[in-house]
Amino acid sequence: MLKLFALMYILIAGFGFSEGIKYQGCYTDEDVSRDLPDVNSGGNDSDIQKCVDLCTFKAYKYAGLQGNMCYCGDSFGKYCKVDDSLCSIRCPGNDQQNCGGANKNSIYSTNYLGCWKDSPTRDIRSFNSMPNSNATIQNCVALCRQNGYKYAGAQYFSQCFCDNRFGMYPELERSSCSATCRGNPQQKCGGVWANSVFDTQIDCGCFQP
């Protein structure tokens, strides 16, 4: 599944991923109860950018790498933080990057900021209607970025909102943002009065239209 996103990332000189992607540290994991519960096989070409892209598209806040495995979740740290030297397995797709260790996750934040409540008095105010075929996360984020906005909110299958602030209403459970994007049913575009919110300032490869 991860290979579906391989064509959508841009190789950044030096490390191969955007400097805006924040490294959170090396954390212990457990086989029986994973720290980041969504498990994905990255294949032989997996690297940091591809795992972060995948977790972003699946609307998770964090990505964790262990060799060729990519883990996604909305929180981390159930187990101990350890020295970075224990996350020294080279990524199969880029031998200049480290992809965790034996039951150790290299954890990175994604561009996804959570599922947030909306109302008729909009939290994210600038509305843009996208044709169904264009209603994807990357197109909404690109549209907001091009118009100078810091945040993008995808809502209810094909709606796109842009603003420089958000959070007037409470954050919701991820199940409230379960509407599939009209332009890509593998992505989640918010829900009923609920925005899937993304940071447009991190020039992540997955957000290139």
Q: H or E element: which one contains 27?
A: strand 23-28
Whole-prediction pTM: 0.81
Q: Which residues contact 61 (CB under 8 A, 6 or more apart)?
A: 73, 74, 75, 109, 110, 112, 113, 114
Nearest to 122 by CA among 178, 167, 188, 180: 167
Mean pLDDT on 160-177 = 96
Instruction: Give tens-digit pLDDT for 113-136.
Output: 999 999 999 999 999 888 888 899
List of E strands, 38-124: 38-41, 62-66, 69-73, 81-82, 90-91, 94-98, 104-109, 112-117
Token readout for 81 is 């933080």
Q: According to the model, what pLDDT value does residue 19 have?
A: 44
Q: Which residues contact 120 (CB under 8 A, 6 or more apart)?
A: none
Token readout for 1 is 């599944």
Percent of the chain with pLDDT over 90: 72
Token readout for 12 is 């950044």
DSSP annotation string for 156-208: TTTEEEEES---SS-EE-GGGS-PEETTEEEEE--BTTEEEEEESSS--GGG-
pLDDT higher for 59 or 25? 25
Which 3 state secondary structure label does DSSP give 146? helix
- Output the average pLDDT for the chain: 86
In this prediction, residue 34 has a pLDDT band, given cuts at 50, 70 and 90, of: very high
CA dihedral 85, 91, 94, 96 (to 10 degrees): 10
Q: According to the model, what pLDDT value does residue 202 have?
A: 58
Q: According to the model, what pLDDT value does residue 201 have?
A: 76
